[in-house]
Amino acid sequence: MSADLDPVVYLNGEWGPLSEARIPVLDRGFIFGDGVYEVVPLYATPQGRAPFRLTQHLARLARSLGKIRIDNPFDDAGWRTLIAQAIDANRGEGDALVYIQVTRGVAKRRGHAFPAGITPTVFVMVNPLAFPTDASRAQGARAVTAEDKRWLHCDIKSVSLLGNVLMAQYAAENDALETIQLRDGLLTEGSSSNVWIVKGGKLFGAPRGPRILEGIRYALVEELAAEAGIDFEEREITEAELRDADEIMISSATKEVMPITVLDGEPVGDGRPGAVYAALYDAYQRAKARELADWALHAK
C-alpha cells in the first residue's frame, strides 16, 4: 500500500501503519461517539509540511476535552512534539492534514455514564489533502440548504457526527459541495464548515455559541476582513438574508475560504465569486505565507 494510503499513525503511545492500528470495540468512541477531534491543515513548504494555526487548534482541542470532561492527555508542548513526530513520520510532497482524536477510553462493559479509572484513547494520523483547485475557486461551488437537526452542543468538536454526516451525504446526493443548515429560519453553519454572507460590501457571520462549531477560521476570517478593510458583523442571519446575499462563502481547514455561487439551484448574486471573497482569499494566502515562514524559522 502507498504511504499516502497507509500512513504511519500514533495510537496510545505506539507508532505503526494505519492498516494495523486497532482499538477494542468497547472504546467509548466506537460505542458512544464519546470523544473529540481536531483537523489541522498542513501545507507543503520547502522545509516539509507545516501546520497552520496550530496554537488555535490545540486550544480548541483543550476546550472540547474540557467540555466533555476528559483530562487532556498532553500539554501544549506534548501535543506539538507528537504532531511534529507525525509529520516527520509521514514526509511527502503535497499538502496534508493532521487528524487528532481523543476518546474517553476503553470501558470494561457498556454503560452510558463515565466509567471510573479510564485512560483516554489518543489517535493521530496524517492524511494527504487536496485543497480546492484554482479552477473550482474561479467557478465557485454549489450548496444546498437543510434544517439543522443537530443537538445544541455544536460548539464541541465531537466525533458524534451523525447529523453532519447526513447533511454531507445530502449535499453529495444533490451534486453540491456543502449543505448550509438553518435552525428555525436562522443560518447556523455548513455540515463541515462555517458560512459567511456578504451584503452591500459588508461581511456577516452567524453568532458564535452552542449552535455552531467556532472554526479556527472564524477568528481568522475576522482578522482577514479587518486587514482587507471589510466591515464585519457577527449576528443572526435570516434565511431571507441568506437567499438575498450578494456573496456566500464557507470556511474550513480543508477548504480555506471557498465561494458558494449556487444555492439550492439559484445563482448567488451574479453567480460568480465576489470581490469580498477575492479579498479574503488573498488575505488568507498572505496570512498563511507569514505563518509558514515563521514555522520554518522556528521549527527546525
Residue 180 C-beta: closest distance to ligand PDD, Å: 11
Residue 164 C-beta: closest distance to ligand PDD, Å: 6
| Binding residue (CB under 6 A) for ligand PDD from 225, 252, 260, 262 | 252
159 makes contact with ligand PDD (CB under 6 A): no
Closest residue to ligand PDD, Cβ-based? Answer: 215
67, 157, 199, 300: which one is catalytic? Answer: 157
Cβ-based neighbour number of residue 213 at 10 Å:
24
> For residues 133 and 47, is the Cβ–Cβ distance under 8 A?
no
> For residues 186 and 237, is the Cβ–Cβ distance under 8 A?
yes
Q: Quick check: is 255 catalytic?
A: no
> For residues 9 and 17, is the Cβ–Cβ distance under 8 A?
yes
Cβ-based neighbour number of residue 66 at 10 Å:
13
| Binding residue (CB under 6 A) for ligand PDD from 254, 269, 278, 288 | 254
d(CA 244, CA 247): 9
Closest CA to 250 of 173, 185, 167, 184: 167
Edge-to-edge strand order for the sheet containing 35-45? 14-17, 8-11, 121-128, 96-103, 35-45, 48-51
216 makes contact with ligand PDD (CB under 6 A): yes
| Binding residue (CB under 6 A) for ligand PDD from 50, 213, 242, 248 | 213
| Binding residue (CB under 6 A) for ligand PDD from 193, 242, 274, 292 | 193
Hey, what's the cell of 81? 512534539
Region near ligand PDD per CB under 6 A, out of 82-90, 100-108, 125-133, 186-194 = 186-194
- What Rg value do the Cα atoms of the chain yield, rounded? 20
Query: Which residue number, 142 or 217, has a Cβ lying nearer to ligand PDD?
Result: 217
d(CA 237, CA 12): 43
| CA end-to-end span of the chain | 30
Query: Which residue number, 90 or 252, has a Cβ lying nearer to ligand PDD?
Result: 252
64 makes contact with ligand PDD (CB under 6 A): no
192 makes contact with ligand PDD (CB under 6 A): yes
Chain residues binding ligand PDD by CB under 6 A are 39, 164, 189, 192-194, 213, 215-217, 251-254
Catalytic residue numbers? Answer: 157
